[in-house]
Amino acid sequence: MSQELGSLLSKKLESESIFGEIINLEPLTGGASKEIWKFEVKLKDKSEKYILRKGSGIEGPLAIKTSDEALIQKTVRKFGALVPEIISVSSLSEPLGDSYIMKFVEGETIARKILRDTEYKNALQNLAFECGQSIAKIHQTDIAELSFLPKKTVKEQLSDLYETYTVFNQPSPVFEYTYLWLKEQNFGDIDDALVHGDFRLGNIIVNQDGLQSIIDWELAHVGNPLQDLGWICGNSWRFGNTDKVVGGFGDLKDLLDGYNTVSEYQVDKEIVKAWQVFGTFRWGVICLIQASAYLNGTINSVEKAAIGRRVSETEIDIVDLLFLGGR
Partner 1 sequence: MIFDRPDSVELLNAVNHFLNEKIKDEVPPHLAFKLRIVENVLNIVSREMALGEKLSNDVVKDLRELIETDTANIKDLALLIKEEKLDLQNEDLKNLLVKLSKNKITVDNPNYSTLKKLVD
Q: Which of residues 259-278 bind partner 1 (CB under 8 A)?
A: none
The CB-of-311 to partner 1 minimum distance in angstroms stands at 8
Q: Which own/partner contact pairs does 313-319 have at CB distance under 8 Å and 24+ positions apart?
A: 313/236, 314/236, 314/280, 314/281, 314/283, 314/284, 314/287, 315/172, 315/174, 315/175, 315/284, 317/234, 317/235, 317/236, 317/280, 318/174, 318/178, 318/277, 318/280, 318/281, 318/284, 319/174
Q: Which of residues 8-37 bind partner 1 (CB under 8 A)?
A: 27-29
For helices 269-295 and 252-259, the axis angle rounded to 10 degrees is 100
The CB-of-6 to partner 1 minimum distance in angstroms stands at 17
Alpha-carbon distance values, 274 to 26, 152, 176, 277, 313 (Å)? 41, 17, 16, 5, 18
Question: Do residues 267 and 190 lie in contact, with contact meaning Cβ atoms separated by under 8 Å?
Answer: no
Q: Give 262 or 306: the residue with its C-beta nearer to partner 1.
A: 306
Contacting residue, 172, 263, 276, 290, with partner 1 by CB under 8 A: 172
Under the criterion CB under 8 A, does residue 1 sit at the interface with partner 1? no
Q: Give 179 or 265: the residue with its C-beta nearer to partner 1.
A: 179
| CA 63 centroid distance within chain | 10
Q: Give 5 or 64: the residue with its C-beta nearer to partner 1.
A: 5
Question: Do residues 99 and 53 lie in contact, with contact meaning Cβ atoms separated by under 8 Å?
Answer: yes
Under the criterion CB under 8 A, does residue 235 sit at the interface with partner 1? yes
Quote the CA–CA distance of 269 and 272 in Å, as a whole number: 5
Contacting residue, 20, 57, 210, 326, with partner 1 by CB under 8 A: 326
Contacting residue, 72, 102, 174, 252, with partner 1 by CB under 8 A: 174
Under the criterion CB under 8 A, does residue 79 sit at the interface with partner 1? no
Of all helices (H) and strands (E), which one includes residue 7? helix 2-14
Q: Which of residues 278-317 bind partner 1 (CB under 8 A)?
A: 302-303, 305-306, 309-310, 312-313, 315-317
3-state secondary structure (DSSP) of residue 53: strand
Under the criterion CB under 8 A, does residue 109 sit at the interface with partner 1? no
The CB-of-266 to partner 1 minimum distance in angstroms stands at 29
Contacting residue, 2, 186, 242, 261, with partner 1 by CB under 8 A: 242
Quote the CA–CA distance of 314 and 181 in Å, as a whole number: 15
Under the criterion CB under 8 A, does residue 319 sit at the interface with partner 1? yes
List of residues contacting partner 1 (CB under 8 A): 27-29, 171-177, 180-181, 235, 238, 240-242, 302-303, 305-306, 309-310, 312-313, 315-320, 322-324, 326
